[in-house]
Structure 1
């Protein structure tokens, strides 16, 4: 591995290294509809999803990432928290 390549200023901001903002996987409208469907307040949703109320408000305005969408689906379906089987 060429360690000097990491110090190359030309390489620091190439297309491969620049982080692009991700589009939300769950739209703001979908997230708000989920809150209404499960009848959760922002405070309760924050507690259940283990995120801040500020983040809940952000998701209501801007949408939510995929992992939150999956969690919302699981909650809406009444699925319990994942626990591995012990055989």
Structure 2
């Protein structure tokens, strides 16, 4: 069963939403892996039918909530994620 918003959202869009909260974070763009589908997303009809539940939080709001939670709960992030990037 797919759990999601049912709204197509690219990795780039999510990365840009995160970057809005961390503007000094560079985004690394790479080519689309061979065989990756374009425009795919999780259909949520079964989730809605079986669970009787529909998502009410948008991707934008969900990212903002997660960022706030991470800021209030820094120990939740693994050590490697909290480290400053090293210069190449």
The reply to whether TM is greater than 0.5 is: no
- Kindly indicate whether structure 1 or structure 2 has the higher relative contact order, using CA contacts under 8 Å at least 6 residues apart: 2
> Given the two structures, how large is their TM-score scaled by the length of structure 1?
0.23
> Given the two structures, how large is their TM-score scaled by the length of structure 2?
0.23
Rg larger for: 1
